[in-house]
Structure 1
Amino acid sequence: MSAFPNREAGAPRVSIVIVCYNQLEFFDEAIQGCLAQAETFSDLEIVIADDGSTDGTTDAARQWAERHPDIIRLALSDTNGGIAANMTAGLKAARGEFVAWLGGDDVMLPGKIVRQVEMLDRQPEVSGCYHDAEVFEWPSGEVLGLFSRLYGGRAFKIDRVDARRMLDPRVQMLPSTLLVRRDRMPAGFDPRFRFHNDYLFDFETIAFGGPYVRLDGCFVRYRKHQRSIGKDKQVVSTLIEENLMVLGAITARYPRYASAIRRREVYYLLLEALKAHRRGDHARGAELTRAVWAKGAWGKAIALKLLRRPLSYLADPRYRRLALELRSRFG
């Protein structure tokens, strides 16, 4: 399945791919965190994949490459092609045995690469490794908590994530925490999906190459700000459609996981129904509840219909931790 060799001749063991677009104010910190990895693991390169930035990020990337030509390589686009195209460009430019992703607004912490390489060297049967991250708000700098507590759920209560567990909606991993074997990866990211293409990519990597294993510790700072893609109104408005489309693609390619896929579909429909009821769109909520019923999740559909008012509070960001705990316990 993979289009990539284990390692190109003369290439470094690790390629850190920084994926960025109009992130100039965060860019230096991202680069510095990556360069610091070489203090404990020197056999690496940094690939900067810029998606046609217009704020000076591209010029900054060139300046960093001129200062560190031995370690920094560029994969720059003249136009904005979208996240999937940019990540694919970065992947194709990478030469290492392992690939680490980093959002241009995130920060690597000391020891990340060396610890992950050591773990993957000990476990050749797995395709990748993930860890926890510190979530913070910008520009205030306020630390919101660990990703495992805010979003991650069961991914941080188990040792490894295989394809079936990847379909569990309680399992969440952050792309900037991953280190993955390049020869287990698909050839690229599906350009049909704007936001959820990394999920499909990781699922296929795991299905083909083996599970992702958890490394204890926190080795990335994950920045939340108003220009984060999760704040994009267009992304938010089409999120349910894209999530279900991605699951449709997985169903077509991996029908053996149909029952687990259906449970994840039910989760997305339930969550969207709760959001609809929370904003007072009860007709939309009822319609989505009928879709849950049609998927065969009759008990959950009945519970949602009877308890829609108190349950709708779980869609409020203020109760995220409670919602995550309930999701982790009951699915």
Structure 2
Amino acid sequence: MFFSIILFMWLCFMNDPKVSVLIITYNQEQFINDTLRSAIDQDYKNLEVVVSDDGSSDGTPKIINEYTKRYPLRVKAITNGQNLGITGNCNRALHQCTGSFIAIQGGDDVLLPNKIRMQVNWFSESEKRVLCYHDAEVFESSSNEKICNYSEMAPLISGIGPVALIERMRLGAATTVMVRTSSIPEYGFDIRLPMVSDWKFQIDCLIGGGEYGFIDGVYARYRRHGKNSRLKASKQYYEDCLMTTYLVEKECTQYALACRKARARIYGGMAIDMATRKNYRSAFQMYMKSVKESYSWKLLPGIIFILLPGALRKLLIKLFGKSIPELNYSQH
């Protein structure tokens, strides 16, 4: 009887496709415990957690190695490699992943219960499904207080191919994405993009015309803090985003219009950042650059919006946030 139960459990385990959770870290000793624990505690059995540290100078590698010793069958760690930067570290982790599906998790973000199981169930509906994501709670790290749901800034959508992803620059938070491994290009994350390579990575997965979609519910917490790469290195962020549009446009000319719309959005984001720093003349010039790429009336309100008093911004978000997500994005 005992061996029958063991056999049954083993068969159930083997029937579930293997999932790799890909985590990259760099000097995140404050957050890595929460990150790893949330991945390890997922109720999905056929799971490996692949974490690659990028030469941290703090206690991050030590914490990761402790988890490897405690969960040798669950955690696969790379903690003695050289510093490769974000994209290089992503590829180093990717090369160690052996799952049929790969879930991306930031080294400071938290997965919520049932995430992996729910996304695998979504993929099981069709072999044509190659990318799945979901909503995430954006929270302030120092206070642990919720800022908003990510869907308030980028409404959840589903479709086929990369056009909408190119135009919007994102589907959801990167830490919510799971992809079918067979859809990943051989080179993985594009090394021509040193910091922001996840956007093109997702585009590449959808280039073949695969389906993308979302599961209902919030299954991750996206942490906001002073060390966020997007907040700390905005110049490189924008450079990589612009480079992505030029690379995609060159490699897949059928997406030229979508790339122009994306560049308009990027220039609009730069204009908003400039207006936030009270560099109004440069903000207007950047807005005009956005208009030349692809006119959208929604970009100008975003720039004007950032100049308004905080109480008025909150009122406008309450009234118009659902129809103009750019207002939420400008605010947060």
Structure-2-length-normalised TM-score: 0.83
Q: Equivalent residues in 2 for 1:162-311 (5 A)?
A: 162-169=161-168, 171-186=170-185, 187-208=187-208, 210-232=210-232, 235-295=233-293, 297=295, 300=297, 304=300, 310-311=304-305
1:92-131 map, 5 Å: 92-131=95-134
Matches within 5 A, 1:10-89: 13-37=18-42, 40-89=43-92
Which position in structure 2 is the counterpart of 1:6?
A: none
8 Å CA contact 1:275, 1:315 repeated in 2: no
For residue 312 of structure 1, report the CA deviation from its aligned partner.
5.0
| Higher mean C-alpha displacement, 286-295 vs 185-194 | 286-295
The structure 1 residue matched to 2:154, chosen from 123, 143, 152, is 152
Unaligned runs of 5+ in 1: 1-8
Distance 2:308 2:85 in 1: 32
Shift, 1:230, TM fit: 2.2
Q: How does 1:309-320 map to 2 (within 5 A)?
A: 310-311=304-305, 313=307, 319=313
Cα distance in 2, alignment partners of residues 27 and 296 from structure 1: 41
Q: Distance in 1 between matches of 2:286 and 2:321?
A: 21
Measure how far apart 1:281 and its partner are: 2.9
Whole-Å Cα distance in 2 between the matches of residues 77 and 55 of structure 1? 13
CA distance in 1 between partners of 2:150 and 2:144 (Å): 16
Q: Deviations over 1:92-133 (max 9, x none)?
A: 000010111111111111111111111101121110210111
Distance 1:128 1:65, change over 3 A: same
The verdict on how the C-alpha distance between 1:292 and 1:129 changes in structure 2, with shifts beyond 3 A counting, is: closer
* Cα gap change, 1:30 to 1:311, in 2 (>3 Å): closer
Kindly state the Cα deviation for residue 203 of structure 1 after the two structures are TM-superposed. 0.6
In structure 2, do the counterparts of structure 1 residues 86 and 315 end up closer, same or farther at CA, with 3 Å as the change threshold? farther
The residue type paired with residue 104 of structure 2 is W
Structure 2: runs of 5+ lacking an equivalent? 1-13, 328-332
Distance 1:308 1:328 in 2: 10
Q: 2:184, 2:205 within 8 Å by CA — same for their partners in 1?
A: yes
Tell me the distance in 2 between the aligned counterparts of 1:328 and 1:104. 27
* Contact 1:137/1:143 (<8 A) preserved: yes
User: 8 Å contact 1:19–1:101 — kept in the other structure?
Assistant: no
Residue deviations 1:288-321 (CA, integer Å, cap 9, x gap): 2442354363x759x95xx897355389899488
Contact 2:85 2:195 (C-alpha < 8 Å) held by counterparts? no
**Cα contact 1:102–1:175 (8 A) shared by 2:** yes
CA drift of 1:209 comes to 5.6
What letter is aligned with 1:104? Answer: G
Identical amino acids, percent of aligned pairs: 27
Deviations 1:50-85 (A, max 9, x none): 111111111211121111111211223432211101
Q: What is the DSSP-based 3-state SS (H/G/I as helix, E as strand, rest coil) of the residue aligned with 2:31?
A: helix
Q: Distance in 1 between matches of 2:206 and 2:115?
A: 21
Cα gap change, 1:317 to 1:252, in 2 (>3 Å): farther
- CA distance in 2: counterparts of 1:308 and 1:61, whole angstroms: 41
Instruction: State the 1:267 CA deviation.
Output: 1.9
Query: Could you list the per-position Cα deviations for residues 252-306 of structure 1 after superposition, in whole angstroms to 9, with x for gaps in the alignment?
Result: 1111011111112112223323443454434423432442354363x759x95xx
Task: Report the number of matched residues.
Answer: 310
Matched residue type, 2:172? M
**Contact 2:161–2:211 (CA<8 Å) still a contact in 1?**
yes
Say whether the 8 Å CA contact 1:99–1:179 is kept in structure 2.
yes
